[in-house]
Amino acid sequence: MLTIYIYSFASVSLISLISLVGVFTLSLKEDVLRKYIFIFISVAVGALLGDAFIHLIPEALEESTNTTLTSTLIVAGILVFFILEKFMHWHHHGEDKEEIGVHPIGKLVLLSDGIHNFIDGIIIAASFMVSIPVGIATTIAVLLHEIPQEIGDFAVLLHSGYTKKRALWLNFLSALSAVLGVIVLFILGDLAEFTSAWFLPLAAGGFIYIAVADLIPELQKTKELKYSAFQLLAVIVGILAMISLTFLE
């Protein structure tokens, strides 16, 4: 059992470090980075929608014993994030000067990504409990899955008004929820599967809301044909990245 613990925590620690992929942008000037951020935002749209519809929802339905409940939880996830954003907008008016100019979408991304990483931690630990090879295969799949998503998340945080260093740090803290997922799995055992069955559709609903309600409207502000074509291409890249991961599952 000790070997399973070591492999599980080592795996989620590695995956958490993937959130630091945005570090390569620290060498870029912030004005240059923000000028081309729309490309990364577009990739994020594709990755979020692809993740929700190609990975999270099918997996939730596969594990579900009540598809109506699972579908309702997806809708509930959308509504929960709608309410959260409303609350954050209201709270936004009372924030201190340090947070002025930070759009609530950044906090929503951190929350939804935190839920997703928590589920990843549960899945990875459960895989290692099946066998070491299965756990390693699952870790590789999650690792490749996280790279495009974390780049997209980092871009959204920058777009929300966070500085590069703050966005990087917050993204890393959100990624650490995978460690919590491993701990929950080992403490709760069989109950963790029940927890995952509820969190998967909720996370999917959150991803759909962020992509459709917040990010796509931002992309629609660009009217120039050339940039619109780049946006569409980047969205497709994000979706294809999620599709390609199905071959590893």
pLDDT tens per residue, range 27-66: 556 566 666 777 878 887 888 888 889 887 888 888 788 9
- Range of the structural domain that residue 241 is part of: 2-16+36-248
Q: Average pLDDT of 108-120?
A: 80
- Asked if residue 156 lies in contact with residue 215, where contact means CB atoms within 8 angstroms, the answer is yes
Residue 9: HSE in the Cβ half-sphere, 13 Å Cα cutoff: 9
78 part of a folded domain: yes
Residue 217: HSE in the Cβ half-sphere, 13 Å Cα cutoff: 6
Q: What letter represents residue 228's amino acid?
A: S
Can you tell me the distance from the alpha carbon of 28 to that of 205, in angstroms, rounded to the nearest whole number? 34
96 part of a folded domain: yes
23 part of a folded domain: no
- On the question of pLDDT at 89 being above 70, the answer is no
Which residue, chain included where needed, has tokens 């966070």?
162
Domain count within the chain: 1
CB-based burial, 204-217: b 16+ in 10 Å, e otherwise? bbbbbbbbeebbbe
61 part of a folded domain: yes
pTM of the full structure:
0.66
Tokens of residue 215, six digits = 């990010």
24 part of a folded domain: no
